[in-house]
């Protein structure tokens, strides 16, 4: 009986170690740092980060344009005033989103993403040591070219670009208005999402507004900026009228088709 107990204890200890190692392995993270170039690839790139693990799939803009900030340094350098947009992927096509185009007050909204119909191409290239393949698709008024790597098992990518058989490491519009490109990838990482980002999302979860209402608030802010611009110009100046969201990354929405 003593022998059996000893064998059983060893078995349970081995099982515990295996399970513990499995859980730890499952909690390993992937972090991708992207440079973001808006508007004809401006020289000063912004810092964007995609964090992936079993508990969180979060993409966010943080820091000051023109300065390169590493993901692991954000926690020590964290300031609410430096948060840009945040995307918290809560399912394959549903996410929580907060941006900075609503004036002094920020809101949290839930966005149900339309499926991007991708055309997969035979072209390939290497990005940061990963073989990537080309895809083309249309999303909310803009045509996107994406480069994804099946070597990293995720269907996500920068911003709201995803749904491909591999992680998107580069994405840009066909007219060069917007571009995301990976500058650094960390796999099997022990890093966690900066607590300040999690706290910021949780603070606003009690007042989530519908996505259409959120876009209306963005449109009001964009209109106010346009009015301010016109009022600062010499008397008699006229502006060529453009669609309100002509300069926004999302220019058309499902309810407008």
The full set of domain ranges for the chain reads: 24-212
pLDDT tens, position by position, 78-128: 999 899 999 999 998 999 999 989 988 999 999 999 999 999 999 999 999
Q: Tokens at residue 139, please?
A: 């999303």
Letter string b/e over residues 210-245, b meaning 16 or more CB atoms within 10 A of that residue's CB: ebeebbebbeebbeeeeeeeeeeeeeeeeeeeeeeb
pLDDT score, position 15 = 38
If you average pLDDT over every residue of the chain, what do you get? 87
Nearest Cα residue to 135 out of 122, 149, 121: 121
SS3 call for 153: coil
The alpha-helical segments, DSSP class H, found in 72-210 are 74-77, 195-204
* Lowest mean pLDDT segment, chosen from 22-26, 168-172, 203-207: 22-26
**Residues 98, 109: Cα–Cα separation, whole Å:** 6
Selected from 1.10.287, 2.50.20, 3.40.50, 1.20.140, the CATH number assigned to the domain covering 24-212 reads 2.50.20
């Amino acid at each position: 009986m003593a022998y059996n107990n000893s064998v059983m204890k060893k078995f349970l200890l081995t099982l515990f170690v295996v399970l513990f190692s499995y859980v730890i392995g499952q909690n390993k993270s992937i972090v991708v740092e992207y440079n973001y170039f808006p508007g004809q690839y401006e020289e000063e790139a912004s810092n964007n980060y995609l964090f992936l693990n079993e508990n969180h799939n979060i993409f966010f803009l943080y820091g000051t344009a023109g300065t390169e900030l590493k993901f692991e340094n954000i926690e020590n350098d964290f300031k609410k005033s430096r948060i840009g947009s945040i995307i918290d992927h809560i399912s394959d096509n549903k996410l929580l989103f907060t941006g900075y185009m609503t004036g002094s007050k920020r809101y949290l909204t839930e966005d149900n993403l339309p499926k991007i119909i991708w055309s997969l191409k035979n072209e390939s290239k290497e990005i940061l040591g990963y073989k990537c393949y080309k895809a083309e698709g249309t999303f909310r008024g803009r045509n996107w070219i994406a480069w994804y790597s099946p070597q990293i098992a995720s269907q996500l990518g920068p911003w709201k670009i995803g749904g491909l058989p591999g992680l998107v490491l580069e994405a840009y519009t066909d007219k060069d208005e917007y571009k995301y490109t990976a500058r650094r990838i960390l796999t099997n990482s022990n890093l966690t999402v900066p607590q300040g980002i999690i706290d910021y999302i949780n603070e606003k979860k009690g007042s989530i507004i519908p996505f259409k209402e959120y876009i209306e608030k963005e449109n009001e802010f964009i209109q106010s900026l346009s009015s301010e611009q016109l009022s600062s110009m010499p008397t008699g100046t006229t502006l060529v009228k453009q669609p309100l969201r002509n300069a926004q990354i999302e220019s058309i929405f499902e309810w407008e088709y």
